[in-house]
Structure 1
Amino acid sequence: MIDKSTWEKLTEQFWLDTRIPLSNDLDDWRTLSELEKTTVGYVFGGLTLLDTVQSESGIDAIRHDCRTPHEEAVLNNIQFMESVHAKSYSSIFSTLNTKAEIDDIFEWTNTNEFLQKKAKIINEIYLNGTALEKKVASVLLETFLFYSGFYTPLYYLGNNKLANVAEIIKLIIRDESVHGTYIGYKFQLGYNELSEEEQQAMEDWVYNLMYDLYENEEHYTELLYDELGWTEEVKVFLRYNANKALMNLGFDPLFPDTANDVNPIVMNGISTGTSNHDFFSQVGNGYLLGTVEAMADDDYLIGMK
């Protein structure tokens, strides 16, 4: 039933970036400072790298452990949508940036030590980890590591800027919430089959991995946001989403941060309901195929022990 309901949810909320008029954001883009434009570019460069890792390596890595043909079908859908996400970032680049700027962004992406480190950690698990470890890596990537980048467009949306760019991010978040919950549920099925000793070893491994990734993510966040003065707010957002990732896996939250601690402008943006866009100029996700509810906190408790 979980496979079936997840398949139905994913197919109902199918979308493509071509339905969202990114060029309508150009007037807003021109009002941003050079520092803001550079930060936005770096943010989407990092997201492109991580989504490429997920679409090219992540789903292939966990597909070998499918329990049913239905699960494989769901993973095929997830892999396709990860490619749609990566392609959407390219659409944002091509709309907002010149070719020279795009080259600079990807040069930064390819040489940033903290970005490269988190991609390397996740990819190494995909290559050499156990079936359960690969699922953990996937959940932490989709429910935690993307969010240092997601903060920026959600912040601008809350300040009435870059609404169409943010619309794409909201659609991606809507997908990732389902992906993380589903793969986390599949992890829990395997985890519950382990002996008590094996479960403890796996739990220790998960928390150690989270500590390592969070420490690196703090450095990445400082590099991105110190000059804008956003760093501490972004870290709160990261800790909140790190807890969500652990909940997806059936584990207790690690950090004290809750939704009430996150910048309310950003929390409002993370809501994946219909956008109130002008019908003639912009496309909110209410005009996309299907109407799908946002993931609520209780949705992260599927199958918890």
Structure 2
Amino acid sequence: MTVTIRTLYDSDLDAADAVQMAAYNIPNSRKSALQTYLRLQPDGWMLALQDNEPVGLGGLVDYGPFAYLGMMSVLPAAQGKGIGKQLVSHLLRWAIDRQCPAILLDATPAGSYLYKSFDFVEIDRSQHWRRLDIDKMILPSQANDAVTAISANDLPALAAFDTPYFGASRIHVLEAMLGQYPQRAFAVWDKADRVNGYLFAQERSIGPWVARTMEDAEHLLAAALKLPFIGNAISVNVSSITNQDAIQLLERYGFKLQRTLSHMRRGRAVERDLRNIYGQTAFALG
């Protein structure tokens, strides 16, 4: 068995999508998400090949103060052969070459054992919540004038608001989200036209979703839930230890906990405030 690891290219997306669908046992393609990740960090996504056939996938997005590792996938038939370990080693060398001071990730219980062997430590828990039958939800009837659609002109203000909470500027992520979901992006403002929060409603999930208060977060959620979602279902990924307000809000709107992951770090501590992050963009992006 010969395993090689190389940079992922656009021409690999169909094969990489097949790997992640099999690895996570999901029925629907996530190719569009992979395309977004590759645009955000073209040199940070890797494909593992066994005898020249794609068997594994993983990547990093470098935000400066930290990088986020995600989408670690190995075909079921190729698992248990050290391919995941080789992928992590390769990605860590990439991060070291870029002098990334810290790496964050969200790991399944099985994956956390692998990451601990690379000196990752758990610093929080991340949870995946889901709500079915969105069309049957009873939403607040009154409109909130403070909630408006996001335009490209708003992005610098949103990024400045977001950076202290996320721990790094991710304006390139906001630009990508607005480009992909131009009619599904909302912000809430105070009377002085300062940002109080924002939310992007993806096709199957909500995130990024950041708000100054629980009230602001709820106004944004109510706006998002009026939109259609694939399968009439919606999911949110959130820190379960740090942001109890988010958990209470999701429970109140009928979301159910699906799974809990270990939020882990390798390297120095990162200054972030997860209490105001109500929804991650994705487990692969934070």
State the TM-score, normalized to the length of structure 2. 0.35
Identify which of structures 1 and 2 has the higher relative contact order when contacts are C-alpha pairs closer than 8 Å and 6+ apart.
Answer: 1
- Going by fraction, where is strand more abundant, 1 or 2? 2
State the TM-score, normalized to the length of structure 1. 0.33
